[in-house]
């Protein structure tokens, strides 16, 4: 299977991942929320004035990489795997959510430079946060 190089871009800001009770609704600003058997996972902007999450552990911040600038149908196999494989090979942890048109791949902020380097080495184009981009178009 041959996968074409993709264009991804870092979205601005840093985010944290929190687990909330199953019956809770996301509040405030959030990038995405996913409800599973273990509860509600919410990815929301990091609070620069807060150094710990609700469990008291050090707050890990994540940077989202958005793959929506490479338009493709939902039936195209391997698009997400093509992005995750170089990251996994390079030892970069990820947290992923998919939308109708794209994938959001969160990487630890402390590993962003490595993630960008690995994706570029695999042939993908990576734009920095705030870079100009075009809206994806779909041809189905």
Which domains, from first to last, does the chain contain? Answer: 12-60 (no CATH), 61-127 (3.30.2130.10)
Cα 101 to Cα 69: distance, rounded to the nearest angstrom:
9
Torsion of CA 92, 132, 99, 83, to 10 degrees: -30
Q: Is the pLDDT confidence value at 55 over 80? A: no
Enter the tokens of residue 68. Answer: 């929506």
The predicted-structure confidence for 58-113, as pLDDT tens digits, reads as follows: 578 999 999 988 777 778 888 899 999 999 999 999 999 988 888 999 999 999 99
Phi and psi torsions of 17, nearest 5°: -110, 125
Enter the tokens of residue 27. Answer: 């509040």
In three-state secondary structure terms, 118 is: helix
Helix 112-121 × helix 79-89 angle, to 10°: 120
């Amino acid at each position: 299977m041959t996968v074409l190089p993709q264009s991804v871009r870092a979205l601005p800001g840093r985010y944290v991942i929190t687990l909330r009770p199953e019956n809770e609704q996301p509040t405030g600003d959030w990038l995405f929320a996913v409800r599973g058997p273990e509860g509600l996972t919410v990815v929301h902007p990091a609070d620069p004035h807060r150094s710990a999450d609700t469990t008291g552990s050090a707050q890990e911040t994540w940077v989202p990489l958005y793959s929506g600038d490479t338009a493709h149908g939902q039936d195209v196999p391997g698009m997400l795997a093509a992005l995750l494989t170089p990251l996994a090979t390079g030892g970069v942890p990820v947290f992923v959510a998919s939308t109708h048109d794209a994938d959001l791949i969160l990487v630890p902020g402390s590993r962003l430079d490595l993630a960008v380097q690995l994706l570029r080495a695999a042939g993908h184009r990576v734009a920095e946060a705030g870079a100009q981009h075009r809206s994806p178009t779909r041809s189905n």
